[in-house]
Amino acid sequence: MARERIDLVIPTTDAEVRAFTRPRTRLPGRLFLPHQAVVDLCQDKYRLNVALRARGVPVPLTYSREQPARARENLRPPAAHSPVCAACGAEAGRRARSP
């Protein structure tokens, strides 16, 4: 960064955000990102959903992997599932089908 005289880094993808959040104290320039705790919250879809719902923000009905019975009772097709962390290389979401 110093050799290229980069003053500011603005990561734009989840993977870039995750990569730059970890070593942020060692970067010589400015980094346009919130604190790691905020990044971690925002990259965990379930935790973010719970936090937003607790603050009165309308969010989709969401269940954790630890609640499969509750999800089966309450979700009806078409429903979708997606990885908790999109930047972690997990499988993409897909439409659920009736059993």
In the prediction, which pLDDT does 93 show? Answer: 41
Residue 97 lies in a domain: no
In the prediction, which pLDDT does 63 show? Answer: 74
Look up the pTM and report it: 0.61
Show the domain range for 62. 8-89
In the prediction, which pLDDT does 36 show? Answer: 85
Regions of the chain where pLDDT drops below 50: 89-99
What residues contact residue 83 under an 8 Å CB cut-off, 6+ apart? 45, 90, 91, 92, 93
Residue 96 lies in a domain: no
In the prediction, which pLDDT does 31 show? Answer: 82
What is the tally of structural domains in the chain? 1
In the prediction, which pLDDT does 46 show? Answer: 85
Across the chain, how many H-helices and E-strands are there?
4, 4
